[in-house]
Amino acid sequence: MTTKMSKQQNTFGPLIVDVAVPVGSYYLFKDAFGMGTFAALAWSSVVPAGRTAWCAVKERRANGLAALILFVNAVSLLLSFVSGDPRLMLAKDSGVSSTIGIGILVSVALGRPMMTAGFKPFLVRGEAAREAAWARLAGGSAPGSAAFRRSERVFSVVWGVVLLVECVARVVGAYTVPVDTMVWLGSVVLAGAMTLAFVVSRSIAAEPMARLLTAEVKAAEEAAKREVAVAA
């Protein structure tokens, strides 16, 4: 039970810090302490910005995503303080999504889909046979390699496109929807976009890859049995 709760905390911890804390602190600063909208937005960004900086220092290695988020936060905070525009503070959040989305699409164009590292463990499940089958399919030596690699690219493309669309939606909302509403609506849009990306990418890419992976494992097992039979 303790292990399960620990895993849940590890899973939802970043979400709580990045979403719940900024939104909750915004209303706390604005309503309880009487700060202006701009000031409340600025102070509510301190915790997530500090978290990304701490993670980068703690890991003692180049963490591309953490560095990207920290950079976007730092630049957008500076620009927002200069302009004093609270809507720019809201629009800056979409900059992270757009940059990540573009990065994912570029990785696909370069033949190294960025999202592969994220979903591979769920398909391989730590099994040596599935790991070997993955290597054959990804390396082009298995019958289903072409379809497998195509689905691998599609998985990343879905996430890249969805994140770019989410970025556009949040930027439009930042300048058309009341600020107080957009503070929480932006998080809803992000959560909805991620859910959509997960469902679509799973249906049209991850599941076909799982079937190809299973078929390749079975084919390897049958080939091994035939070799044993011939040797006997």
pLDDT digits (tens, 9 = 90+) for 200-221: 999 999 999 999 999 999 999 9
Nearby residues of 132 by Cβ (< 8 Å), 6 or more positions away: 220
Ramachandran assignment for 114, one of left (phi > 0), alpha (psi -120 to 50 degrees), beta (any other): alpha
pLDDT digits (tens, 9 = 90+) for 1-14: 444 444 444 434 54
Q: At what angle do helices 145-176 and 128-139 cross, to 10 degrees?
A: 90
pLDDT at 107 over 70: yes
Give the count of beta carbons closer than 10 Å to the beta carbon of residue 89.
26
C-alpha 114/C-alpha 159 separation (Å) is: 10
pTM above 0.75, yes or no: no
